Structures are given as C-alpha cells and as structure tokens.
C-alpha cells in the first residue's frame, strides 16, 4: 500500500492536540532542558548546585506532569489512540527533528566532548562543569561527559518510567518490569559505580549488570590489571564478570527467557522501554528486515568474539611456567568452548535450526579459522593481520558508538526503539540463541482465538511478525523476543501469554485446524 493509506483522514484530523496542562508540562520540561543548553554555550551559572537541581527537577517534573495529564483521567487500558496520527510518533516533522537532535547529541558526546566542556588537566567548562558538584558529591571526582550522559540517561529512565507505569497501570507485568529497570539503572549503572570509585579509587568503573559482550571492554588489559591490583574485591568482581556470562546468564535464560535481562535489567533495554516506548510501533516487520537482522546481529557476535579473543591474546604471555593461562592455552580453550556449544546445538537441536544451522556453521568456522590464524600469523603485537588495538578501536567506533548510540538511540523516532537491541547487540544475540534452543520461555498462542488484527505485530518493538504465528495457532519462540509483554497487552482477544512452561511441546510447528473438531485435528496432525 502506498503512503496515502497511512492516514485515511480525508476531510479533517482526529484530536491530537495537547491539553492546557500538557502544554504547561511541556514548557516546564523544556525550560529545564534550556538551562542545560545555556550551560553548553558556556553561560556561567553562579550557583551550579542550585541551577543543576532546578534543571533536572524541571525536566523530571515536566515529564511526570505530562504523563499524569495524559493518562490518569482515562480508564486503565490500552492507550494507543492516535499513535499513527501524531507527528512525533507517526514519523512526522517532529519525529525527524527529534531524531536529528538526538543523533547530533550522540555525535558530540562520543566524538567531540570538548564542545560539552570537557577539559583535560584543567577545570571543566560548559555543561560538564555544571554537573561537577553532583559528581563530586557521589564519587569525589569532577564530572566527565559520561557522567553527564549517565545522569540524564537515568533521569530519562526514571521519569519516562513513571509515564510508562501510568500508561500500563492495569498491567502488573509491565509495572513490575519497569520498577526493575528503574532500580537497576539507578542503583547498578549510576550510583554503585560512583560509590565504588569513592571507596576504592583503583577499581575501574564497573556496572555489575553490564555483561560481556554488551560490555565489550570488560576484559581489556587495563581493566583486568586494575581489578587484580585492587585486591580481593577487584578479583571478586572480575570473577563475577566471568560467571555472569558463563553461569548466571544461561541459568536465568533457561528459566525465564532472555527477558530477565533485556526488559528487566539492561540499561539499553531500560531506555528503550521507557523513553522509547512511544516509538515501539516503528520497527520494521517485513521479512526482509528479519533477514537483515539475522545477518547483522550475528556478524556482530562473530566480530566481538574475535575482537575480545584478540585483545586478551595480545596481553597474555607464552611462558607457562610464569602463569598457566598462556596464549596457546587460551586459544585452545576458546576453541574447545565454541566447539562444545556448536556441537551441542548441531546434535541436539538440529531439527529446530533448519536453515539457520548453515549460518551458525559459517559463524563457527570463521571463528575457528581465525583462532588458528591468531596462532600462526601473530607476533610483534600483531594479532592475525591487524593489531588487536585496531580491532578493538574499530569495534568501539562502529559498534560501541555509532551503532548503539548514534543509530540505536538517535533514530528512535524513525526506526523504533530497539534498533540496537535487534540489529546490533551481541549480548541479545547470544541470549537469543539460548532462548530459541534451550529455555522454558515462550509466548503461548491461545488456540484459535486470533483474529489477525495485527496489534501484536504492530506494537512489537523487535519487529517480530507475531501475528504470523498467532493466526496459525503456533506459539512464538523467537530468539529476538525480549519479553516486553506488549503484544499480550495490546491483544484485544486475549490470545497471547508470556510464560515459562515445560520444554516439551514448546514449539508446536504443526498447523492445527483452529477450532475444528477433535477427530479432524487428529487426522490432519497424523499426515
């Protein structure tokens, strides 16, 4: 269908203007942002504590007041009226402007922090100086661009979290998981690392819930050295980091699906589910988007695995008498681990993989050949044909900055709120691999009750065509599903339920006759 069908309005437009209260709330929030903007342009506020407090309070209060105005006067229930008619959520002018502003912000944040007032070896200026008092209060150190970003990020999750909770106040699953991401962002991502820096200055910044490979710099030499130098506590944290990916993650994903992380804990997910919620319907549901998704996200997994292996390899020694973990032991270890995972999937889950088995095999052999390459082609600080530093920098630039920040968040109003999680996040891909093959989690389709309306697919932020499964009576077991629960919430017929049930019969790929009598169903299923 062409674009004229996007809005069927011919003679007029449905109500979508803001009420008076919402206009005041918007003004209040924008005035808070204006203070920050003035600080960027080096307006020197005399009392930084006061002005920063005023600014952050105005932003938060504006968002919360707006949400109260928007939802509390209405019945609890689904609040998607006019979503596609509004400029900001319907890819209109406001959406593009917001997208450009956000993208510009990320470009400056990642590549030109001096414009925000970051000064090496002298006092900060601009907006970063405005945040100095808060940073000193928490960690004792002056602020950095990352502190400014972290503070604003946390405020966004908290204030828009309140909005989300008001919007879905009839749905306890949505409320609980939003409390959860608000807690993990404030505690684990924001406060605890700052306090740790105050208590033990040698520890590197460590957001405990940020797990490798999302946290791609976890095992870099400077961090590992810092952990080890910081004594028992540092060592404990390093061990926790390793356990997170190899033990904690698989166990929780087996029990609950990857949602335990992606929509209950993760900070990227937290922002997407709160500030990004008004854009969830913008994800691309076409088959071609799914194809691109699978290639891109799994390429990132291969990339991050090789990069991390190369980085660790580069700082390990060759002499086993000094330390047992030598370069060769490490490479062999990585190879054995991958072989075990790959072998398990091929032997026990072959029938579920189908065509994906080929892609998996390609990824596996690229890594194994690269590992062999490391061994034979490395030397003089070179790993394979590149230096590990080059690999690491390339990854940090392409994936860590451009993909997750500039595109992932900057383009919320255009591509939807989970672009990074869907196309880029290697953590999500690894959890998804497990969710697809070894987890109790599924979205159960309720017999033949689906009416193919499309609300589930439209509001799936991961671009899953949920309806395609539901209308056939099939359960939805997709690696990319983050378990946000919105498909179930927006379904007008009670067709979808997220649940952790037995493994057996989880994927019912045979097509049942939806509603025909029992004998006929048997007949069909026998064929």
Footprint of another protein (CB under 8 A): 1, 5-15, 75-78, 80-86, 170-173, 176, 286-287, 444, 446-449, 451-455, 457-458, 467-468, 471, 485, 488-490, 492-494, 497-499, 501-502, 504-505, 513-520
Q: Hey, how many other C-beta atoms are within 10 angstroms of the C-beta on 116?
A: 24
Q: C-beta of 45: minimal distance to another protein in Å?
A: 42
Q: C-beta of 521: minimal distance to another protein in Å?
A: 8
Judged by CB, which is closer to another protein: 350, or 493?
493
Q: C-beta of 348: minimal distance to another protein in Å?
A: 21
Judged by CB, which is closer to another protein: 82, or 140?
82
CA distance 211 to 426: 11
Q: C-beta of 491: minimal distance to another protein in Å?
A: 9
Q: C-beta of 120: minimal distance to another protein in Å?
A: 49
Per the listing, tokens 């001096």 go with 114
Residues in contact with 241: Cβ distance below 8 Å, sequence separation at least 6, in sequence order: 206, 211, 212, 215, 218, 219
Per the listing, tokens 């052999």 go with 365
State whether the Cα torsion 14-19-22-26 is positive or negative. positive
Judged by CB, which is closer to another protein: 363, or 448?
448
Q: C-beta of 323: minimal distance to another protein in Å?
A: 47
Query: CA 521: distance to chain centroid?
Result: 41
Q: C-beta of 455: minimal distance to another protein in Å?
A: 7
Residues in contact with 120: Cβ distance below 8 Å, sequence separation at least 6, in sequence order: none
Q: What are the CA-CA distances from residue 300 to residues 227, 382, 463, 470 (Å)? A: 27, 22, 19, 30
Q: C-beta of 517: minimal distance to another protein in Å?
A: 4
The H or E element spanning position 386 is: strand 386-387
Q: What are the CA-CA distances from residue 320 to residues 177, 323, 328, 335, 373 (Å)? A: 47, 5, 9, 19, 21
Token pair recorded at residue 231: 């004594």
Per the listing, tokens 């903007």 go with 37
Judged by CB, which is closer to another protein: 341, or 521?
521
Judged by CB, which is closer to another protein: 103, or 283?
283
- Cβ(161)–Cβ(150) below 8 Å: no
CA distance 23 to 370: 57
The H or E element spanning position 445 is: strand 441-445
Q: C-beta of 487: minimal distance to another protein in Å?
A: 10
Judged by CB, which is closer to another protein: 76, or 140?
76
Q: C-beta of 90: minimal distance to another protein in Å?
A: 8
- Cβ(131)–Cβ(53) below 8 Å: no
Which burial class, exposed, middle or buried, applies to 522 when counting CB atoms under 10 A from its CB (0-12, 13-18, 19+)?
A: exposed
Judged by CB, which is closer to another protein: 396, or 514?
514
CA distance 122 to 124: 6
- Cβ(399)–Cβ(304) below 8 Å: yes
Q: C-beta of 172: minimal distance to another protein in Å?
A: 4
Q: What are the CA-CA distances from residue 7 to residues 14, 86, 461 (Å)? A: 10, 10, 21
- Cβ(96)–Cβ(282) below 8 Å: no
* 382-383 and 386-387 beta bridge pairing: antiparallel
Q: C-beta of 248: minimal distance to another protein in Å?
A: 21
Residues in contact with 488: Cβ distance below 8 Å, sequence separation at least 6, in sequence order: 173, 443, 456, 496, 497, 498
CA distance 265 to 258: 10
- Which residues on adjacent β-strands are paired with residue 383? 386
Judged by CB, which is closer to another protein: 140, or 447?
447
CA distance 504 to 500: 12
Q: C-beta of 444: minimal distance to another protein in Å?
A: 8
């Amino acid at each position: 269908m062409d674009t004229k069908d996007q809005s069927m309005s011919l003679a007029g437009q449905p109500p979508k203007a803001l009420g008076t209260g919402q206009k005041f709330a918007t003004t209040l929030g924008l005035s808070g942002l204006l203070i920050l903007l003035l600080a960027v342009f080096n307006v020197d506020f005399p009392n930084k504590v006061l002005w920063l407090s005023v600014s952050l309070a105005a932003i938060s209060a504006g968002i919360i007041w707006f949400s109260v105005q928007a939802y509390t006067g209405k019945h609890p229930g689904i609040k998607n009226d006019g979503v596609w008619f509004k400029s900001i959520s319907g890819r209109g002018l406001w959406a593009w402007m917001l997208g450009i502003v956000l993208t510009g912000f990320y470009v400056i944040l990642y590549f030109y922090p001096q414009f925000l007032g970051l000064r090496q070896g002298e006092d900060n200026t601009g907006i970063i100086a405005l945040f100095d008092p808060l940073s000193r209060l928490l960690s004792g150190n002056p602020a950095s661009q990352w502190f400014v970003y972290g503070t604003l990020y946390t405020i966004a999750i908290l204030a828009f979290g309140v909005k989300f909770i008001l919007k879905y106040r009839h749905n306890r699953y949505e409320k609980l998981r939003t409390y959860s991401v608000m807690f993990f962002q404030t505690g684990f991502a924001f406060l605890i690392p700052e306090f740790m820096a105050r208590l033990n200055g040698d520890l590197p910044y460590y957001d405990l819930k940020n797990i490798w490979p999302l946290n791609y710099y976890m095992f870099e030499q400077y961090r590992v050295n810092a952990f080890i130098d910081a004594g028992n506590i540092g060592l404990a944290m390093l061990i926790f980091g390793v356990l997170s990916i190899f033990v904690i993650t698989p166990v929780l994903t087996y029990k609950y699906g990857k949602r335990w992380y992606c929509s209950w804990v993760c900070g990227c997910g937290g922002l997407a589910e709160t500030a990004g919620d008004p854009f969830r319907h913008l994800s691309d549901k076409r088959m071609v988007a799914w194809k691109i998704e699978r290639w891109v996200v799994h390429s990132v997994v291969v990339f991050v695995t090789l990069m991390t292996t190369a980085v660790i390899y580069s700082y390990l020694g060759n002499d086993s008498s000094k330390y047992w973990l030598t370069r060769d032991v490490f490479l062999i270890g990585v190879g054995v681990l991958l072989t075990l995972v790959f072998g398990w999937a091929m032997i026990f889950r072959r029938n579920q993989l189908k065509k994906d088995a080929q892609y998996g095999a390609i990824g596996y052999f690229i890594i194994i050949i690269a590992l062999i390459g490391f061994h034979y082609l490395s030397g003089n600080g070179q790993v394979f044909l590149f230096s590990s530093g080059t690999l690491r920098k390339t990854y940090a630039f392409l994936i860590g900055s451009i993909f997750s920040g500039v595109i992932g968040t900057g383009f919320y109003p255009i591509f939807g709120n989970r672009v990074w999680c869907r196309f880029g996040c290697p953590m999500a891909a690894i959890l998804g691999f497990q969710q697809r093959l070894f987890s109790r989690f599924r979205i159960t389709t309720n017999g033949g009750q689906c009416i193919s309306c499309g609300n589930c697919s439209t509001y799936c932020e991961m671009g899953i065509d949920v309806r395609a499964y539901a209308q056939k009576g099939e359960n939805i077991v997709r690696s990319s599903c983050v378990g946000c629960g919105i498909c179930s919430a927006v379904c007008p017929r009670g067709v979808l339920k997220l649940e952790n049930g037995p493994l057996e019969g989880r994927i019912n790929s045979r097509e049942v006759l939806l509603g025909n009598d029992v004998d006929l169903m048997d007949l069909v299923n026998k064929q």
